[in-house]
Amino acid sequence: MKRTTGPRALALIISAILLLAGCGREQAADESEDPKLLLGFSQLGSESSFRIGNTRDIEEKAEEYGISLMLENANQKQENQIAAIRSFIAYRVDVIAFSPIVEDGWDNVLREAKDAGIPVVLVDRTIRTEDDSLYESLIGADFYEEGVMAAEYLLRKADDLGKDRLNIVEITGTEDSTPMKQRHEGFFDTIGGDSRMNLLESVNGDFLRSRGAECMEYLLETYGDDIDVIYSHNDEMTMGALPKIENAGYRPGEDMVIISIDGGQEAIDILKEGKINCIVECTPMLGSILMETAMKLKAGEAVEKVTHPVERTFSDYDDIGNLEPRGY
């Protein structure tokens, strides 16, 4: 029977090697200048410009703050994030940070971190737990508010279009992730009382460009001319959908209102061309707040339980000709 080394076994092997080889933190400190702070960060993957920009910003800010960073990319797998957190515990980092790919399934490993006396910071997304002492701080967007901002744009657009019926299709992000759940709730809570608004169907695109294209192909085959509005939970899926809309003979941004989220350069440029009507910003630039928070935790100082960055909307109602380069 072929035996593979699962992530848990892998974490245990890494831990054993580190401990047996005496490469734990204490040993390293004797041999070289101990950095002022060792931060272990588990990134969930590289699925979007947002994610790649977030990783780059964290790396750059660690360098700027003189913080030693152990960064592990989980390639969209929760089990890889759990294994990475266990290896950070074995290595006895000062602070653990991670962007949880989904909300559930973290209590056990975070209890191990807590038992080891290592503080944990959530970056970008949050977890669902009965015990919020398992993490010190959440640094990330208010996704519910992003959904509200998207809906507020649509209500304004609906008034200008003067239609008494708007059929909506929704392309959602990763199932059970905080942005997927809250962007949906914020949007539909805001338009819920408006009789003009009609949801045809929500389909899951997992925040991926390729899946966004597949979702749009299905929605066009199923609803075609009936589609008035596309609400997409991130720019990657939106950019996957756009060629499908055009190949089907529709003008995105004119025949169909396109609302997206993130605000990376590629999507902003498409908005300037008029093929996307509204983009709600979701900034990946969380590195500075993360480094400040990690340094406070190491110094034993109090930190905010939740920090939301300030975000805005870009739309066809704005003059964005002179917008600063987005940096992601």
CB of 113 vs ligand GZL, minimal distance in Å: 21
> Is 141 near ligand GZL (CB under 6 A)?
yes
Residue from 119, 179, 212, 240 in contact with ligand GZL (CB under 6 A): 179
Q: How far apart are alpha carbons 269 and 267 in whole angstroms? A: 5
| Among the residue ranges 45-53, 81-89, 111-119, 303-311, the one whose residues contact ligand GZL (CB under 6 A) | 45-53
Nearest to 54 by CA among 306, 289, 315: 289
Contacts of residue 54, defined as CB under 8 A and 6 or more positions apart, other chains included, come to: 43, 99, 123, 124, 284, 285, 286, 328
> Is 137 near ligand GZL (CB under 6 A)?
no
If binding means CB under 6 A, how many residues of this protein chain bind ligand GZL? 14
> Is 42 near ligand GZL (CB under 6 A)?
no
Residue from 136, 214, 262, 281 in contact with ligand GZL (CB under 6 A): 262
Helix (H) / strand (E) containing 38: strand 38-43
> Is 61 near ligand GZL (CB under 6 A)?
no
| Among the residue ranges 2-10, 47-55, 73-81, 318-326, the one whose residues contact ligand GZL (CB under 6 A) | 47-55
Based on CB atoms, which residue is closest to ligand GZL, 57 or 124?
124
Q: How far apart are alpha carbons 100 and 144 in whole angstroms? A: 17
Phi, psi at 95, each rounded to 5°: -140, 140
Look up residue 15 and give its two tokens: 């831990």
Helix (H) / strand (E) containing 65: helix 49-65
> Is 228 near ligand GZL (CB under 6 A)?
no
β-sheet bridge partners, residue 84: none
Residue from 261, 267, 278, 289 in contact with ligand GZL (CB under 6 A): 261
> Is 144 near ligand GZL (CB under 6 A)?
no
> Is 170 near ligand GZL (CB under 6 A)?
no
| Among the residue ranges 42-50, 152-160, 241-249, 267-275, the one whose residues contact ligand GZL (CB under 6 A) | 42-50
Binding mask 192-211 for ligand GZL (x = CB under 6 A): ---------------x----
> Is 252 near ligand GZL (CB under 6 A)?
no
Nearest to 266 by CA among 297, 295, 298, 234: 234
> Is 234 near ligand GZL (CB under 6 A)?
yes
> Is 51 near ligand GZL (CB under 6 A)?
yes
Contacts of residue 211, defined as CB under 8 A and 6 or more positions apart, other chains included, come to: 204, 205, 237, 240
Contacts of residue 173, defined as CB under 8 A and 6 or more positions apart, other chains included, come to: 179, 180, 183, 204, 205, 206, 207, 233, 234, 237
Residue from 18, 38, 43, 47 in contact with ligand GZL (CB under 6 A): 47
CA atoms within 13 A on the CB side of 220: 20
Based on CB atoms, which residue is closest to ligand GZL, 51 or 181?
51
Burial class (CB in 10 A: 0-12, 13-18, 19+), 4: exposed
Based on CB atoms, which residue is closest to ligand GZL, 91 or 284?
284
Phi, psi at 170, each rounded to 5°: -120, 130
Positions in 64-123 near ligand GZL (CB under 6 A)? none
> Is 41 near ligand GZL (CB under 6 A)?
no
> Is 124 near ligand GZL (CB under 6 A)?
yes
The binding site for ligand GZL (CB under 6 A) comprises: 47-48, 50-51, 124-125, 141, 179, 207, 234, 236, 261-262, 282
